[in-house]
């Protein structure tokens, strides 16, 4: 329980921020999963995989620049996703 009105306001702000951060992180995980599923499926073509991957990269970078995740974490997630998508694409084409 907050002792002052400013402490109560800070608690409310922290709760809002936490909810938003959890939602963004969940969205990033979903985008990653969907991108990898699409890249690994036999029915997808390269254009749709590339478009989906680009939107995932963009969303991860935006989350990093807006402070939802650390910028270096965003860079690491983008790099790992790129590497995984490229690997799945080459395996599918081979």
pLDDT, tens digit (0-9, with 9 covering 90-100), for 54-92: 999 999 999 999 999 999 999 999 999 999 999 998 887
Cα-based distances in Å from 43 to 47, 48, 50, 53, 87: 12, 10, 14, 16, 17
- Predicted TM-score of the model (pTM): 0.87
Sign for the CA dihedral angle at 61, 29, 82, 74 comes to: positive
Residue 93 has pLDDT above 80, yes or no: no
Structural domains of the chain sorted by starting position, each given as residue range(s) with its CATH number in brackets:
25-93 (1.20.58.110)
């Amino acid at each position: 329980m907050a002792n002052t009105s400013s402490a109560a306001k800070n608690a409310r702000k922290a709760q809002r921020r936490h909810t938003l951060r959890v939602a963004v992180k969940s969205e990033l995980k979903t985008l990653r999963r969907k991108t990898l599923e699409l890249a690994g499926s036999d029915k997808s073509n390269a254009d749709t995989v590339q478009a989906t991957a680009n939107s995932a990269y963009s969303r991860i970078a935006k989350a990093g620049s807006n402070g939802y995740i650390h910028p270096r974490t965003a860079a690491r997630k983008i790099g790992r996703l790129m590497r995984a998508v490229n690997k799945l694409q080459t395996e599918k084409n081979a």
